[in-house]
Structure 1
Amino acid sequence: MATIQDVLTAALSHHQAGRLNEAQAGYRAVLDAVPGHPDAAHLLGVAHLQAGQPDEAERWIRTAIQSNRRAADYHDNLGSALKALGRLDEAVAAHRQAIRLRPDFAQALYNLGNALDALGRREEAVTAYRQAIARRPGYARARFNLGNALSALGRNEDAQAAFHAAIADDPAFVEAHANRGAALLALGRPVEADSALARALALRPDHPGALTNRTAALLAQGDGAAADAARRAVRANPANADAWLGLGEARQRANRLGDAARAYSTALALDPGLAEAWANLAVARQTQGLLTEAERGDRLALALRPDLATVRSNLAYLALFQPGASLAGALAAHRAWDAVHGAPLRASWPKPARRKADGPLTVGILSGDFRRHPAGQFAIRTVEALPAHGVRLFLYANQTEADDLTARFQAAAERWIPVGALSDAALAERIRADRPDILIDLAGHNARGRPGVFARKPVAVQVAWSGYMATTGLAAMDALVADHHHIPDGAEALYGERVLRMPDAFIAYDPPDGAPDLTPPPCQAGAPPTFGCFNILTKLNAGVLAAWAAILTRIPDARLLMKTKALSCPDTAALWRDRLAAAGIAPDRVTMVGATSNLEHMGWCASVDVALDPFPFAGSTTTLETLWMGVPVVTLPGETFSSRHSLAFLSVAGVEGCVASSVDDYVDKAVAWAQAPDRLAALRAGLRARMAAGPLCDGNRLAAALAPALRGLVG
């Protein structure tokens, strides 16, 4: 005849095999024979807990405790049942009682950490997880949850280390690989993140989080495999809004703007509260030139996530493109960023360090564009010349890419410091420790800008230069490098910074090596005049199109070339053909060209007779590239900094007859140039050499003016 112990042993065997119904029946048989049997009552409670019946679990485990209050396991499992019932404070108390009874009880410490984490008491949870790990070597699950708690606290470096330790304990721990990848991605280390996520996917190919984050890691590296990863993520889980978000980002990177917008819209249909999807949709629409839709997306993103500083930066930037843009409006839009993201940091600005009176001036420059990028091309010649004018350079590189221009920046720097993986707070601390006399910003509110670093005021004197075309709006920004073309006398009051006017232009252009040879204007050989615009679509508006239509009406056989990266997208090209037609410009008079290499782009610049500058946001790099090919750029400046680029460059290059005073004058000047082929030919023959020999490309001349101006800021 079976004894009570035999029945209990058989029930436990069923339990261990996962046969919960049979186990419960066995435990009940024991309790029928011996009411209150503590082990049977406890194990029956555990079986109910595992079956998803925490209320029954609590009842039976409490019965066991009434019979034996000294059993630590009973209190620990009671805590798990209470946690499942949502009674978290009681759960914490139960786990603590288990630990009091058995101080080395690693599982109870782990469960205590889980309960504390669920209560949002994450620092206490971290302590509990660490204690569990100390008591049980190889406790991978505790290391994993420690990593999760640290991630939630924003301590991503510590989190990835915890996940790495969990993987050392259990190399097949898929979630640890996946979460380590996410932490590395948050740290700005996409190559390492990709490796971790690839390992997770090797273990579980359909892991949704790893698929989605691998897309982001590949995108951050500019890897073409991102699109494939994004498609796999969507196929693995079509209901995952984050997967659609990643697919949209991959499509946008490939200039498939219409497809990207549809992916973001799908993400929002699945999760209307996904602020990142609204923000990304805004960028896609902005790139397509749809300003109203872009502004709407940014505002919806901020309504959901007011902390998204990059979105508010983009909203301030959009104000520069709006018809009727004014200096007062630009200042207000940029100060709105500072009011939300900068003002809370002012109380913690450090006391400025005193600079030694003698010795060279130490200047830090922070940029993500120490490369073939407009900001890099505008700054490189001056940066290379500054050391000869007594300036030590610390270059803080917020980038992973490198090219020939990067090598030149590195050669000019006394210190080259990669900072892409650092948070704003950590980067500010690093710069503060380096103690440069001045910190220069080359990005402002553009992509890769770090206004959150400058808002922390790590350096006593901070200066904006070259990479952003407006006031930064930051109370922490002391000065802005400009010239009298961009900021004429009397306009200073509508800038938040002190204006440092350079004698010519505020930049020195570095033309690309290997630019195509100069050729005569196409119209000189009898071809119909061709007008061209090489600017982003965001700069175009109804007023610009109306002016172009008037020009083409005046010259009935003239043609229009539009070239910009976004026109690689068929949806976007069709959109603008419709807009041009609505403005009175027939589609058969327009040629549209998308992305090409830089040298191919300059060949296209040479294929037009006259370039048409948009307004109120003028061309900058596009104007310089077009002028380098000998082509005049007709411009209509306004009062904003961003409306006056072409005015400045044309003036410094000595090109006359291109700066209009009104829309009618803009039309007249464009027509006049197109009808003067000999004048066009003369400009082409001499302009490049004049630019190369003049101040517009003279980095040493600009450095000779900039260095003492900077020195004057620090006394």
Structure 2
Amino acid sequence: MVTLTQLSLHNEQIKLDALIDKGLDRQKAGDLVTAEKLFRSALSLKPDSADANHFLGLVYYSSGKVAEAEKFLSRAFEIFPKSPDITANFALFLASKGDVTGSIAVFKKAIQLRPNDPQLFNDLGVQLRSHGMLEEAEKYFRLAIKFGKGHFNPWYNLGNLLLSKGEFCGALEAYKKAMSICPNNPDVAVNLGIVLVHLGSYKEAQSLLENTLRNIPGHAGLLNNLGILHRRRGELIKAQECLEKALGISPNQPDVLYNLGQTLCANNNIVSGRKHLRLAVDSNPHFTKAFWGLHLTLPLIYNCEDQIIEERERWKAGLGEVVGNIRLNTQAEIQNALETISELTNFLLPYQGREDLEIQKIYGNLISRIATAAFPQHTPSANLKPPKRQKPIVVFASSHFRRHTVFNLFSAWIMELPKAEFEVHALSIGQHNKKEVNKLKAAGVVVHTDCITLKSQIMRLSKLEPDVLIYTDIGMDPLTQVLAGLRFAPLQCAAWGHPVTSGMPGIDSFLSSELMEPPKGDNHYSEALVRLPGLSINFERPDVQVEKISAHGAPVFFCSQSLFKISPVQDRFFAELLADFSKAKLRFIEHDNVHITRAFVSRLTSVFKKYQVSFADRVEMCPRTSRRGFFELHSDTTLVLDSFRWSGGNTNLEALALGVPVVTLPGSLMRGRHALGMLTALDLPDLVANSGDNWVEIAIALAKDHSWRTNIRWQIVQRSQKLFGCNLWFDDLRAHLRAQTN
């Protein structure tokens, strides 16, 4: 028999349910005002109704009334904490107001109530990732994929997470899965494009981004990543055009501001570049890459010596700002810092031509500190003891196993180190070419070209447990600098592919040239300096013959160095040299970036005017050409003029291989003494100047004296075996490695 009380309660529940149902109908129709009234009426009937509190909280949230939403959603969760829907929505609300820790805890309770819900797994993964808990986030994204076949969001979010970790192959797979589910999603195309860029698949990336832009014109993210692609390919004018379009669409987007800022700086528009980097930092104060770029970006071409001094002081102060502001307390902070040093280097600093030891040590310790925070098992102070084996393992790591100066200079070390004594490996950190890789393999070298990402490179080095690790060019490539900040071998060495101290606490030796180092060269390195005999290299003589054009006409001087190597201090000496010959020509090679060439031409034009020398009439800016074309430029060259402060290496060796004299003014640092070493090996001290004025005098005398020049050419050819096919370095390098491995 039903009592009156029971009947009353039953009727009340019917009324309550009816009010809630009507409220839900109005809520779905978008009539939030009426929905609010209905849910409030429901609450007046039953204040502890979990559903009424829950739905009223959602209405307030949709209306933007956050405080009221929190009051009713938290009350619903308090009344009925075992409701999966109430728990999940409360977790989403906490996430929306930035309470990541609270939302994670509540999401985990929701998953206990609904264990196989892919949406809950995905939402929890999103919160974990935002809190820097990347490994756990990945676990939940993969659970969402497992229990949510055909769901787009988990694949897309997994791709984003793997991209942020630099795991590009995994990100590629995830984005392609997401794209198969939702083919026309521009966000997937944006991120898939950047993954393809990182993997070096430039053509595929360009095709994807351009095709998607045709379907969705004016998409800022697509234009931004197309700009990044063009910048990676050195197409800086196209990059700037894309990024300026992206900025016009999305004016305050930090990524676009950062990428445009970096591109403008690469175009030598340093003022505008820094302005955009400042805007990127202002838009996102936690944007580590933009902060570093703002403080540590340098020009490629300086207007004058005063600008070098000014920029150097600015860079030092900027480094202090970067060091003072770095935070490595959370996984997210570590990841941001790691991404930064995986993209940016201080490559341009040594081109200022100053002694860099102290600031390199600060910079190197910073890189090592970040790398160690990300990979603490590889701290530079680790006392490693590789396993006992028949032959010690020596690994050469480089991003230049391709047609490049670094490969030309150091491939003999890798190929000629005796394989009966050492197991020799070559780890490619960046681009590589099949021809050069096959050359190494033919010499018995184990070549690793499958390690595309930083993580895979670290895993490979960890697996190899080398006795010796030699970096050929620390400072030229971002991933190389990250690896150099860690320890993988008891002995870690830097070669002079980028001839400046690394400043890294984990680099033990700097392998240099006895003929190129100044007497007190040890004072320039944080590493122990090892002076290998001679030039320290076995440079392969170019297999080329160039027909010599008659040299009885007006002299042709050739400075074949990259334009950013040529210091403003040398400008007036070029002008003085040309002023002495009314018809002589001076030849340079254009930079592949027209903005750099224009800046260089503008600077020299201004200086030449003071000496009444017409730049337009007397200077030939040669387009960049093939290696054969480069050799042919020497056919009518009277002599090669070496650059001050940073002497030519590969280019001077190739000129000397053709018998063309090189006139040099040695600097105080090893990188300004390459030609000195070559000319010392050839016993040609008359081509070595002791001042800028003396450099001009030697060049003038040599250009005017055909007989002397002919004799110099003859001596170069007769003594060339001292430069090419010379293995003076071999025994010392072998002994150094043997001593350490024993």
TM over 0.5, shorter chain: yes
- Matches of 2:112 and 2:165 in 1, distance apart? 28
Aligned with 1:662 (options 684, 691, 701): 691
Q: Which residue of 1 aligns with 2:84?
A: 72
- Matches of 1:119 and 1:712 in 2, distance apart? 48
* Contact 2:367–2:482 under 8 Å retained in 1: yes
What are structure 1's unaligned runs of at least 5 residues?
A: none
- Matches of 1:513 and 1:245 in 2, distance apart? 45
- Matches of 1:85 and 1:619 in 2, distance apart? 59
Q: Deviations over 1:375-423 (max 9, x none)?
A: 1222335544445885543111123342644543343343111266231
Aligned with 1:593 (options 621, 631, 636): 621
- Matches of 1:407 and 1:557 in 2, distance apart? 48
* Contact 1:282–1:296 under 8 Å retained in 2: no
| Distance of aligned partners of 1:380 and 1:288 in 2 relative to their CA distance in 1, 3 Å threshold | farther
What is the correspondence of 1:408-487 to structure 2 with a 5 Å cutoff?
Answer: 408-418=439-449, 421-423=452-454, 426-447=456-477, 450-487=480-517
Q: Deviations over 1:88-113 (max 9, x none)?
A: 55545554554555555555555455
Q: Tell me, what secondary structure is at the counterpart of 1:565?
A: coil
Q: Tell me, what secondary structure is at the counterpart of 1:574?
A: helix
Structure 2 counterpart of 1:666, which letter?
W
| Distance of aligned partners of 1:419 and 1:518 in 2 relative to their CA distance in 1, 3 Å threshold | farther
- Matches of 1:190 and 1:588 in 2, distance apart? 38
Offset of residue 532 of structure 1: 3.1
* Contact 1:463–1:480 under 8 Å retained in 2: yes
| Distance of aligned partners of 1:63 and 1:534 in 2 relative to their CA distance in 1, 3 Å threshold | closer
2:649 paired with 1:620: yes
Q: Which residue of 2 aligns with 1:349?
A: 382
* Contact 1:45–1:61 under 8 Å retained in 2: yes
Offset of residue 671 of structure 1: 2.0
* Contact 2:296–2:318 under 8 Å retained in 1: no
- Matches of 2:732 and 2:634 in 1, distance apart? 32
Q: Deviations over 1:414-473 (max 9, x none)?
A: 3111266231x6524422422444322211222467133234231223333341223434
- Matches of 1:562 and 1:625 in 2, distance apart? 16
Q: Deviations over 1:511-566 (max 9, x none)?
A: 54445322332xx23x2x34332223344345423433444455555443333426
Aligned with 2:559 (options 533, 540, 551): 533
Q: Which residue of 2 aligns with 1:698?
A: 725
* Contact 2:186–2:222 under 8 Å retained in 1: no
Q: Which residue of 2 aligns with 1:209?
A: 221
Question: Which shows bigger deviation, 399-408 or 609-618?
Answer: 399-408
Identity rate, percent = 22
2:341 paired with 1:314: no
| Distance of aligned partners of 1:689 and 1:543 in 2 relative to their CA distance in 1, 3 Å threshold | same
Q: Tell me, what secondary structure is at the counterpart of 1:314?
A: coil
- Matches of 1:687 and 1:405 in 2, distance apart? 28
Q: Which residue of 2 aligns with 1:233?
A: 246
- Matches of 1:80 and 1:490 in 2, distance apart? 65
What are structure 2's unaligned runs of at least 5 residues?
A: 1-13, 324-336, 373-377
* Contact 2:518–2:669 under 8 Å retained in 1: no
Q: Deviations over 1:462-518 (max 9, x none)?
A: 333341223434443343433331136664455444444444322233354445322
Q: Deviations over 1:288-311 (max 9, x none)?
A: 996456546755764564455589
Q: Tell me, what secondary structure is at the counterpart of 2:224?
A: helix
* Contact 1:191–1:221 under 8 Å retained in 2: no
Q: Which residue of 1 aligns with 2:96?
A: 84
Structure 2 counterpart of 1:587, which letter?
F
Instruction: Please give the root-mean-square deviation of Cα atoms over the aligned residues, in Å.
Output: 4.3
Structure 2 counterpart of 1:612, which letter?
L
Structure 2 counterpart of 1:445, which letter?
G
- Matches of 2:255 and 2:105 in 1, distance apart? 37
Q: Tell me, what secondary structure is at the counterpart of 2:656?
A: helix
Structure 2 counterpart of 1:314, which letter?
N
Aligned with 2:68 (options 52, 56, 66): 56
2:680 paired with 1:648: no
* Contact 2:702–2:709 under 8 Å retained in 1: yes
Structure 1 counterpart of 2:346, which letter?
N
Question: Which shows bigger deviation, 38-47 or 702-711?
Answer: 702-711
* Contact 2:162–2:168 under 8 Å retained in 1: yes
Q: Tell me, what secondary structure is at the counterpart of 1:630?
A: coil
2:549 paired with 1:519: yes
Structure 1 counterpart of 2:615, which letter?
P
* Contact 1:214–1:229 under 8 Å retained in 2: yes
Structure 2 counterpart of 1:596, which letter?
R
TM-score, structure 2 normalization? 0.79
- Matches of 2:365 and 2:79 in 1, distance apart? 63
Q: Which residue of 2 aligns with 1:548?
A: 574
| Distance of aligned partners of 1:159 and 1:455 in 2 relative to their CA distance in 1, 3 Å threshold | same
Question: Which shows bigger deviation, 507-516 or 409-418?
Answer: 507-516
Q: Tell me, what secondary structure is at the counterpart of 1:616?
A: coil
